[in-house]
Chain A
Amino acid sequence: MIDQLDVDSLVVLQRLEADVALPSQRVRAAARSQLIQVILAEKADGRRHGSPLHGAQDGRLVASEMPARFSRKSIGGLRLPVATAATALLVVLAAGAILQGHPSGRTTPTASPMRAILAAFASASEDVVYIKQTTTSSDGMTTTIDTWTHPAAMPPEGHSVEWRVLYFGPDGKPVSDVGLRYVVGSPLVALGPKPGKFYPSGEILDVEYATRSWSDQLNQAVVGPTFTDDTIGSLILSGRLAVQGTSTLDGQRVLELGSAVGPEASTTLWVSATTYLPVRRIFTYTAGNDSYQVHGTVVSDISYLAPTRADLALLTPDIPSGFTRTAAPPLLYPQG
């Protein structure tokens, strides 16, 4: 056996791999876009599986998926959820699940405010929900995502669902702006090679700032959105969300709800004491190991907008002048 190649062979071997260009911005943007779709798909799955109205699956980690180094000793009490939604409220589901498993926890909601919140959701179900979500972490990363969702709650079959997701880069400039639209009850189409990943077919308007281009894609698998009202409403109905007190937020009186999810994560939801609609959620988490840890905070500011013509127009991404239209990118996965 030989341990090394001779120098001549090594030179030739390395020459053979040289001169490969870096991927273009277009290729990079397309790949990033596809990854985001998969992330959103997991969020949608996590929401479905995590709903307390749909069985016991709450998206927590299972032992077989835990790396050996992070045994139950280190994160067992955390039971991180699989995903949070773009609105990042799914974590509340996990909080509720934990509390349910610990009867001594805060499991007794104040009934009257909870009824008021449910009533507020019902009256605002046709609104546009605007959420500005900012994630900061101790390693210096800051990301901001704006989302607009209409209607605020899942509508009945035959009605449209619209969702716009505007991603900003660390420099605060837009990276991509994606509008999704589908009709509830539309035929399902596959997303991804795994069986069982089917989503309603709809339209995706994708504006990519890196390539200064946009495309309009029809009959695509549309993933999302997560309906904030449905998520919180489910928690209230299952008695898993607790009122912790009252305070003042940006000059308005608010109710504070939520709970810690073990020592490594906590979530807090503020609801207006006047309208009883959510106005802010803050989720904090810690990840890493004994030698390195990342602490992160996700702040979601939530607004309910009346479905006026002007506010409904916010659901459509802006196409800046000078951007060129491109053919729709290939389907996320080969078909057939």
Chain B
Amino acid sequence: MASNPQPPNVPAPDAAIIQASWSVPERFAEVFERHFAGIHRYIARRVGTSLADDLASEVFKIAFERRRRFDLGVDTARPWLLGIATNLIRNNHRSELRQLRAVQRLGDDYLATTGSELEDAQEAAEMSVELARMARAIEMLNSDQRDALLLHYWAGLTHSEIAASLHVSPGTVASRLARARLRLQSALAVPRRHRPTGLLKALLRVNA
């Protein structure tokens, strides 16, 4: 191995930390410190904060046990960790559905906690309706499409990173994303053309 010492205080890539943890397991704690908050947040978005506390912890325990399978050619461990998180989320599909359905029931609460100006309230009302429809549309996706969509738009992973995290080809990711977008557009387009002004007015009265 070529000698290539780095200057001190330069953060090492996750790959180097993970390989170091092969011989000094405590070093894996650095991976935890770097990524726990982000992984927790992604899981919380999908299944709620309460379950995220347990699942995010589980992600790092599993990652530690599987760390020798990590591809050392990839600098960051984030896609790998998100892949583990995704598998755990799949095992808790009912919780994700509950989370999405909770958003669909948010309308009144959302209005009650937003601005008092008519314009703000109007925007808030429209947004609450849109959020509910989006949550419904996401719920309608199959799990493959939902994982690809949310890893891309919520976690910010690229196609190739999603492919690595889900152990599928980049082409499969592209296909799943395209189908997910198509279904979302389809689910959202019709109501937009017939915007429910009656519903909006009814919602606005709640805040009047």
On A, residues with C-beta under 8 Å from B are 1-6, 8-10, 12-17, 20-23, 27-28, 30-32, 34-36, 38-39, 42-43, 61, 65-67, 69-70, 74-75, 80-84, 88, 91, 135, 137-141, 143, 145, 192, 263-265, 283, 285-296, 298, 330
Contacts and interface: CB of A to CB of B under 8 A. Distances in A.
B44 interface: yes
Contact of A12 (B8, B15, B130): B130
A9 B185 contact: yes
B20 A289 contact: no
Contact of A32 (B2, B10, B29, B175): B29
A35 B17 contact: no
A330 B2 CA distance: 46
Contacts of B16: 139, 287-289, 292-294
B188 interface: yes
B73 A2 contact: no
Interface stretch (B53-61, B114-122, B164-172, B198-206): B53-61
A77 B132 CA distance: 58
Contact of B53 (A5, A15, A27, A286): A27
A293 B12 CA distance: 8
B64 A38 contact: yes
A286 B24 contact: no
Interface in B1-16: 1-6, 8-13, 15-16
A85 to B, nearest CB: 10
Contacts of A285: 20, 23-24
A14 B150 CA distance: 10
Interface residues of B, number: 69
Contacts of B45: 16-17, 20
B41 A22 contact: yes
Interface in B112-161: 127, 130-131, 133-135, 138, 150, 153-154
B32 A31 contact: yes
Nearest to B63: A35
Given A32-B29, A294-B16, A1 B182 contact: yes
B181 A293 contact: no
A265 B36 contact: no
A250 B188 CA distance: 74
B184 interface: yes
Interface string B33-56: 000110011001100010011101
Contact of A140 (B2, B10, B57): B10
A259 to B, nearest CB: 15
Contacts of B181: 2-5
A15 B26 CA distance: 38
B53 A264 contact: no
Interface in B75-116: 103
Contacts of A34: 57, 61
A139 B19 contact: no
A112 to B, nearest CB: 32
B136 to A, nearest CB: 11
Highest count of chain B CB atoms <10 Å: which of A12, A75, A292: A12
Contacts of B72: 67, 69-70, 289
Contacts of A294: 6, 12, 16-17, 19-20
B78 to A, nearest CB: 16
A263 B64 CA distance: 25
A134 to B, nearest CB: 11
10 contacts: A8-B192, A9-B184, A12-B131, A13-B154, A23-B41, A32-B36, A38-B65, A139-B16, A141-B27, A296-B20
A139 B65 contact: no
A293 B29 contact: no
Given A3-B178, A140-B9, A65 B68 contact: yes
Given A17-B45, A20-B49, A65-B68, A140 B56 contact: no
A23 B8 contact: no
Contacts of A290: 1-2, 4
Nearest to B37: A22
Nearest to A175: B29
Contact of A15 (B44, B71, B127): B127
Given A35-B61, A293-B5, A91 B53 contact: no
Contacts of B182: 1-2
Given A31-B60, A61-B68, A143 B1 contact: no
